[in-house]
Amino acid sequence: MKLFYASGASSLAPHILLEESEMVYQLERVNLDTKKFQDTDYNLINPKSYVPALEIEHGNILTECAVILEFIARTSPDKSFMGAYGSQDYWEQRMWLNYIATELHKNFISPFRNGNWLPNTVESKQLVYQRVLPRLKLINQKLANQSWLVNNQFSAPDAYLFVITNWLQRLEYGFDGLENLSLFDHRMRNRHAVQNVLRQEGKPHSLKDDKA
Ligand SMILES: N[C@@H](CCC(=O)N[C@@H](CS)C(=O)NCC(=O)O)C(=O)O
């Protein structure tokens, strides 16, 4: 399997799950400014023009972060990254994956890269925060009495949530009123696999705009 990623982008979630899985995988770093990896046009791999993408065998590409996370979970069933299909845990994990993808991920990144639909201004940054804060508070509440999102065990949506808590820091929103999320972020950073991945990925991807 080969993961196409950009440092610190949402591809961080499948990267963490791959590392946690202890499976053999390869990485291909994509430059989101040029949409190239090595000297190749990344749009040939993923015409949607974004990361993550996971090549599961030559020419067979999966996209969409939540789907890739579920695929990795299914490929390493002994790790319990997702419950058995149809179980209560499974449906809760599906709900969180969808919630993070639609309510947080896409609301979060809008203003911070050239070419996105909101200009990169102070006002945009405040608008984004107003939009995501109630959603973050809901998760903060959920984490009041448990360490992980579902059944108090690390699972696929936790890897995705870490992308968001990592962005909260990177975009300097901080964790005011979100103390349980801050503790969650610490728990994630203490995981061996997460430390490996952060070390491997290095500095966040955009050089044009440090807030991207
Ligand atoms: N719907 C996609 C969205 C992926 C996405 O927005 N990826 C961002 C990075 S977090 C990206 O590569 N954007 C392209 C760009 O910034 O040029 C998913 O859920 O995986």
Say which CATH class 2-79+196-201 falls into.
alpha beta
Q: Which fold has domain 88-191?
A: Glutathione S-transferase Yfyf (Class Pi); Chain A, domain 2 (1.20.1050)
Q: How far is the CA of 127 from the centre of ligand 1 (A)?
A: 20
Residue 10 Cβ inside 6 Å of ligand 1? The answer reads: yes
Q: What is the pLDDT of residue 207?
A: 41
Q: What is the pLDDT of residue 146?
A: 97
All structural domains of the chain with their residue ranges: 2-79+196-201, 88-191
Q: Choose one of 3, 4, 5, 10 to mutate for the ligand 1 pocket test, by most ligand atoms within 8 angstroms of C-beta.
A: 10
Q: How far is the CA of 145 from the centre of ligand 1 (A)?
A: 32
**Are 157 and 81 in contact, with CB atoms under 8 Å apart?**
no
Q: What is the pLDDT of residue 48?
A: 96
Q: Choose one of 37, 46, 50, 160 to mutate for the ligand 1 pocket test, by most ligand atoms within 8 angstroms of C-beta.
A: 50
31: left (phi over 0), alpha (psi -120 to 50) or beta: beta
Q: Which atom of ligand 1 is nearest to the CA of 32?
A: 17
Instruction: Give φ, ψ of 62 to 5 degrees.
Output: -105, 140
Hey, how many other C-beta atoms are within 10 angstroms of the C-beta on 123?
10
Q: How far is the CA of 51 from the centre of ligand 1 (A)?
A: 5
Greatest extent of the chain over all pairs of C-alpha atoms, in Å: 49
Give the strand pairing for 36-37 and 2-5: unpaired
Residue 29 Cβ inside 6 Å of ligand 1? The answer reads: no
Q: What is the pLDDT of residue 204?
A: 77
Q: Which residues of the chain are modeled with pLDDT < 50? A: 207-212
The pTM (predicted TM-score) of the whole model is 0.95
pLDDT in tens, 10-26: 999 999 999 999 999 99
